[in-house]
Structure 1
Amino acid sequence: MTVRIVVVSHSEKIADGAVELAAQMAPDVVILAAGGTPDGRIGTSLEKVMSALDKAAGGDGVVVLTDLGSAVMTAESALELADDPAGVLLADAPLVEGAVAAAVAAQGGADAQAVKRAAEAAYGSALSAGAAPVPSESTVSEGSVTGAGPDFTGDFELINQAGMHARPAAKIAGGISALDAEVKVNGVDGASMTGLMTLAAGKGSVLHVEAWGADAERAVNYVGGLVQAGFGEP
């Protein structure tokens, strides 16, 4: 079982679109939309959010993402009425990028707190202290990681045809956000999907990874494993 995600938006189309995009990155994660009003207008619906939370029950916790202010209030009201409010976390995160980062972290087996941090790290700040390890990490080939003590670095050449586009950026950011490490990739925050995409790194580009913290070596290995596997792409 994995952490489940609920996306609350004033627009039904925005909520559905964010869920569709996040689901592409995390096919095994339950992601539910609660957008618009029951009669199809722009707005938020306590009934819709409550229904989504009910459907999300039974997993390893629920993380809720919202767009504008009143959506937060609606989500908070639904949380107060939920059967298990302790199992529901509200993330202060950008809706679309946060949903993608949260979904990737959940796909990797992160717990609810780590999934929430992954969503919030989409703002560009690394909020990863005390996060659960990502079980799907790969081991980098011998000699690709250097360093001693708390600091580790690695250099990895992109081999996938499309290079650093949305899916690889989401996989890196989601996994890094679920680790207790500060990570820089070519100078940008490794937990920021947007930052990674701004690198515009094509096939053959080298990603220079620097990491600090308890999970620094694990973080470098995680990024290196993804790169060396081509992110599962051609």
Structure 2
Amino acid sequence: MVAESAGRVGIVFVSHSEKIATGLVELARQMAPTVRLAAAGGTDSGGIGTSFEKISVGISAANDGAGVVILCDLGSAILTAETVRDFLEEAEQDQVRIVDAPFVEGGVAAAVAAETGGDLDEVVAAAQSALHVMSEATLAIQPPAATGVSRTVILINKDGLHARPAAEFVNLASTFSVPISVNGTDARSLLSIMSLGLARGSSVQLTSTDPAAGPAINALADLLESGFGEQ
């Protein structure tokens, strides 16, 4: 269950259920098609539990030289993953991180961060951001500064900013160096944007305090107005 990549951080999903791990890889692949994603779910015989061998194989499959992030569904899965990591060479251990983060939300956020070229620390941080993203989403919308720029658009695609278009939006936002917010939340945070629940017909305010952000704001607004091919 691996998607090929070139020089990106890989991700291993360790679950007690083979179907859950495989399903999460399928979900994450929709938003991170070039990242190496490996499912390590269930026991060697296909039962409920975890497998030293599957996790070991998953790490090898996901590793493209930029490091590997492991996310686990339950505590005992973490113990198995830690045992596998302990058997690696010391240099390899430094490149394998086991992250304590929500399995689905953290995994998706990590995959998108890897897709946008984040390094190992950045991918780990993206996964961990899922722990507090809901509180961030409740922040009040901040108006643009007097010297900043803003643009408001209406979502037209059928399902609004669900996972795939949200990831496409974040990928584009991550290419700009200027700060940009979407209805008061960071345009580069997939989970924050998805937690806004922006459906078809929703008003989306893009703002930046940087007066040079006009081209970035317009590019993102144009993407939203395109409907992501889903009208």
TM-score range, shorter chain: 0.7 to 0.9
Partner amino acid for 2:154? Answer: E
Query: Residue 3 and residue 155 in structure 1: after superposition, are their counterparts in 2 closer, same or farther (change >3 A)?
Result: same
Q: CA deviation digits over 1:46-88, x for unaligned, max 9?
A: 1211111122233321111111111111111211222411111
Q: 1:123 aligns with which of 131, 151, 154?
A: 131
**Residue correspondences, number:** 212
Q: Once structures 1 and 2 are overlaid, which stretch shifts more, 90-99 or 179-188?
A: 179-188
In 1: Cα distance, 2:58 partner to 2:97 partner = 14
Q: CA deviation digits over 1:21-53, x for unaligned, max 9?
A: 111111111100011110122111112111111
Q: For residues 124-139 of structure 1, what are the structure 2 equivalents within 5 Å? A: 124-125=132-133
Equivalent residue, structure 2, for 1:11: 17
In 2: Cα distance, 1:218 partner to 1:93 partner = 35
Shift of 1:185: 3.3
Q: For residues 37-52 of structure 1, what are the structure 2 equivalents within 5 Å? A: 37-52=43-58
Equivalent residue, structure 2, for 1:73: 79
Structure having the higher Rg: 2
Q: 2:67 aligns with which of 58, 61, 70?
A: 61
Equivalent residue, structure 1, for 2:139: none
Shift of 1:219: 8.6
Structure 2 spans left out of the alignment, 5+ residues: 1-5, 135-143
Is the aligned partner of 1:91 residue 2:99?
yes
Is the aligned partner of 1:205 residue 2:202?
yes
Equivalent residue, structure 2, for 1:131: none
Shift of 1:10: 0.9
Q: For residues 159-198 of structure 1, what are the structure 2 equivalents within 5 Å? A: 159-172=156-169, 185-187=182-184, 191=189, 193=191, 195-198=192-195
Maintained 8 Å contact 1:156/1:227: yes
Maintained 8 Å contact 1:38/1:48: yes
CA RMSD of aligned residues (A): 3.6
Shift of 1:166: 2.2
Identity rate, percent: 45
Partner amino acid for 2:33? Answer: P
State TM-score, norm by structure 1: 0.72
In 2: Cα distance, 1:63 partner to 1:32 partner = 10
Partner amino acid for 2:164? Answer: R
Query: Residue 60 and residue 187 in structure 1: after superposition, are their counterparts in 2 closer, same or farther (change >3 A)?
Result: same
Query: Residue 81 and residue 158 in structure 1: after superposition, are their counterparts in 2 closer, same or farther (change >3 A)?
Result: same
Shift of 1:226: 4.5
Maintained 8 Å contact 1:115/1:178: no
In 1: Cα distance, 2:190 partner to 2:163 partner = 11
